[in-house]
Amino acid sequence: MTPTELSKLANRNRARDLRGVFEAGAGHIGGEMSVMDILTALYFDTMSVDPKSPLDPKRDRLVLSKGHTALALYVVLAEKGFIPKEEISTFLQPNSRLNGHPNRVKIPGVETNTGPLGHGLPIGVGMATGAKLNGDDWRTFVITGDGEMQEGSNWEAIMAAAQFKLDNLTLIIDHNRLQQGARLEDTNNIAPLVPKLEAFGWAVEEIDGHDMDQICAALSPDTITAGKPKCIVAHTNKGQGISFMSDNVAWHHKVPNQAQYEQALKELEEASK
């Protein structure tokens, strides 16, 4: 797919996510909108995965550490063919396997349970280390939120990844500048992130997290620095693609009313043409 086609697909995925949140009456829509371009690029351009063989030992791995944006992952997994598309309508319903946080036991394509923030990157370091020990060339990708990078466990994992020269590991930070209830700068401002990661011995690239050309180029194996784990600091907007949600902290965990839903859907459908 071309970058233009990927962008249109990402907006269609946003529209499906929006409908899922509206129907369920719950969800973390702001962060789901900010991470959707990255997820779409990973599954439809970068990663080697096969829905017919979700446990293929040679597959690439993705850990969505910001697990509260699970619906975005479910929508992309459904679009890729891991789960039926119609199952998205069961999100958060009784007996549904589509919980508010991803569960690897229930859903093919989910590599590990996530939710408690700060756990995904340490798991990703373990995965990447395992690949190195086995002499395998599959890659591990981890997506965290920028607020999540306030967790000390991430920085312990960052030290370990550099120590073990895990150049098969890519961390993508969804840097939307907002977290639950407040702006990052008003909570525990860890920005700028680039010099901090570089100081820990990582190769770091800063991109527009909604520009598909930049996303795909940054995720390419051609950009790997031998002996160094890679971090992509992706500048994004919470609520991306929806005018009244964009960069608005109120939409971390909020459900649109009927009028808001219709306006948002119209905007996303227009962007996906």
Please state the separation of Cα 16 from the chain's center in Å: 16
> 192: cis peptide before it, omega within 30°?
yes
Digit-coded pLDDT (tens) for 195-243? 999 999 999 999 999 999 999 999 999 999 999 999 999 999 999 999 9
pLDDT for 83 equals 98
pLDDT for 180 equals 85
pLDDT average, residue stretch 244-248: 95
How much is the pTM?
A: 0.97
**pLDDT band with cut points at 50, 70 and 90 for residue 181:** confident
Q: Which residue has the higher pLDDT, 245 or 181?
A: 245
**pLDDT band with cut points at 50, 70 and 90 for residue 93:** very high
Q: Check if the beta carbon of residue 268 is closer than 8 Å to that of residue 261.
A: no
Pairwise CA distance, residues 9 & 13, whole Å: 6
pLDDT for 39 equals 98
pLDDT average, residue stretch 72-78: 98
pLDDT average, residue stretch 55-78: 98
**pLDDT band with cut points at 50, 70 and 90 for residue 165:** very high
Q: Which two tokens stand for residue 100?
A: 């508010």
Report the phi/psi class of residue 78: left, alpha or beta, with left for phi > 0 and alpha for psi in -120 to 50: alpha
One-letter amino acid for residue 61 of the chain = R
CA distances from 83 to 52, 102, 113 (A): 10, 13, 17
Domains of the chain: 3-51+58-271 (3.40.50.970)
One-letter amino acid for residue 231 of the chain = C
